[in-house]
Amino acid sequence: MKYIDEFQDPDLARRLLDDIHSTVTRPWALMEVCGGQTHTIIRHGIDQLLPDQVELIHGPGCPVCVTPLEVIDKALEIASRPGVIFCSFGDMLRVPGTGRDLFQVRGAGGDVRVVYSPLDALRIAQQNPDREVVFFGIGFETTAPPNAMTVYQARRLGIRNFSLLVSHVRVPPAIEAIMQSPSCRVQGFLAAGHVCSVMGVEEYPELAERHRVPIVVTGFEPLDILEGVRRTVAQLERGEHTVDNAYPRAVRPEGNAAARAMLEDVFEVTDRAWRGIGVIPDSGWRLSAKYRDHDAEHRFSVEGIQTREPAECRSGEVLQGLLKPHECEAFGTLCTPRTPLGATMVSSEGACAAYYLYRRLDLTPAAREATPVV
């Protein structure tokens, strides 16, 4: 347990780990859904502190990673047009489209701006009535309510030069798709805490029951992860499969009612493509008919853009937990954070970036001892 002193409360971490070690009797494969959780796990070496029987599989919960290439290409096309101010969160700047990224579009003269909040983009639209302002609306259930509110406010304030390029995705259909895959090895889920802060937990019992898989709502700090693993393993060892909330300080069972109501008003559920995975039924949101005139895809007529991902990038398998990042042939050679082939390497929450950053090139026991973890 060489890294345990770095934990916020090393004694508690040790107790949780002792409990997990004494509970486990056979191999279990758990998937952490959230990319933030993946980074915590790798950064703190949590996977190495767990018993060998407990394997953590990295899930698809990085919003930047799962945004399809064709949506990135639509963003690049819109951002390149004269008269457009294209606003985005900073972590989309380096996500590769076909041949370029938003950072390069800005370098070539495009007016690309980074905002902290979608409401900042709306303010830019208010201040620039003669320009078209587009906000890149990606993300899971945590990010969708802020973007929904921004479109609602644009409508309420009569701001017509504001639109949203939408690529929102939903977690429960992704869990369903992962469980339906014939090669699925996942036996328990650490559900993404902040998604549940918004949505609550009511979508999960049916999934847990049907697939006989425990789902434990988990935060993303090191001790949260250990507690999530502890509760999931305990359920598996007892042969249970229920929904459990290990992150009650931030998750109420009902979620955030106001945010959910806004989501229902502004968005409607739609099939959505996930980068590297393909289309998952009902796994996303698009603007509802009432707000369609704030949809950048319609406004800029980019619906027709379709692109293919590079064949050598295997991020789809990484996102589904079928492949560990370092098992990809391009990892660390053709594909690095400076020359990323796919979004899992470029995104700060991507599993490939985490493995690269923390030098996790090999996970065999011998290499584990030899590999420095920063």
Partner 1 sequence: MCLAVPGRVLDIEERDGTRMANVDFGGVVKEVCLEYLPDLQVGEYAIVHVGFALQRLDEESAKQTLELFATLGMLQEEFGDPWEMAAEAGGTLPPEGEGARL
Interface ranges with partner 1 (CB under 8 A)? 8, 34-36, 43, 62-64, 89-94, 103, 106-107, 113-120, 123-124, 139, 142-143, 145-146, 149, 153, 156-157, 194, 197-198, 221, 249-252, 256, 258-259, 262, 337-338, 346, 348-349
Non-local (6+) Cβ contacts of 124 within 8 A are 85, 87, 113, 115, 133
Instruction: Compute the distance between CA of residue 55 and CA of residue 76 in angstroms, rounded to an integer.
Output: 38
Closest CA to 214 of 30, 71, 64: 30
Minimum CB distance to partner 1 smaller for 214 or for 350: 350
Tell the smallest beta-carbon distance from residue 361 to partner 1 (Å). Answer: 19
Could you tell me if 171 and 194 are in contact, meaning their C-beta atoms sit under 8 angstroms apart?
Answer: no
Distance (Å, rounded) from C-alpha 223 to C-alpha 13? Answer: 6
Nearer to partner 1 by C-beta: 55 or 224? 224
Please, what is the minimum distance in Å from the beta carbon of residue 339 to partner 1?
9
Sheet holding 267-274, edge to edge: 111-114, 84-88, 132-139, 162-169, 278-287, 267-274
Instruction: Give the shortest CB-109-to-partner 1 separation in angstroms.
Output: 9
Residue type for position 34: C
Nearer to partner 1, 36 or 68 (CB): 36
Closest to partner 1 by CB, 28 vs 220, is 220
The residue assigned the tokens 């399809």 is 68
**Minimum gap (Å) between residue 238 Cβ and partner 1:** 29
Q: What are phi and psi of 112, to 5 degrees?
A: -100, 130
326 DSSP β-pair partners: none
**Residue among 202 and 206 whose Cβ is closer to partner 1:** 202
**What is the closest distance, in whole angstroms, from the C-beta atom of residue 92 to partner 1 in the complex?**
8
